[in-house]
Amino acid sequence: MCQRTVLIVEDEPLIRMVLADTLLDEGYDVVEAGNVLEAVAALGQRPIDAVVTDIDMPGALSGLDLARMISTSHMNVPVIIASGRHRPGQEELPGDAVFVPKPYGLDVIAAMVGDMTASEGMRLAG
């Protein structure tokens, strides 16, 4: 089985580090971004199998904006959107994105990423 790559987009360094460590322990390759522009750059540099993003980000773009971009340009990349402040309804979530309220359990996110990346052939040639 090839190693799956997860992009974590979180502006809080401690949250990003703990989530990255959890996913690394689960056997994923992890790419980290502190804002949407860094995330877009990462998506353009290498194949990504799943994205975990916060909604609130520094700058003009939010995690929801990122999820909208992914739903049009990387349609096969599943997105988990998290927030402690916002509770978007299903109609606000782009594509097949799923919402998880913060604080979330690290095991919950790891299980969701595992489910989302389990099917073969998910990775787009990029």
Task: Please write down the HEC assignment for all residues of the chain.
Answer: CCCCEEEEECCCHHHHHHHHHHHHHCCCEEEEECCHHHHHHHHHHCCCCEEEEECCCCCCCCHHHHHHHHHHHCCCCCEEEEECCCCCCHHHCCCCCEEEECCCCHHHHHHHHHHHCCCCCCCCCC
Per-residue pLDDT at 126: 38
Per-residue pLDDT at 75: 86
CATH fold for the domain made of 5-116: Rossmann fold (3.40.50)
**Each residue's pLDDT expressed in tens, for the chain with a length of 126 residues:** 468 999 999 999 999 999 999 999 999 999 999 999 999 999 999 999 999 999 999 999 999 999 999 999 988 999 999 999 999 988 899 989 999 999 999 999 999 999 999 864 444 433
Domain residue spans of the chain: 5-116
Per-residue pLDDT at 120: 45
Per-residue pLDDT at 119: 66
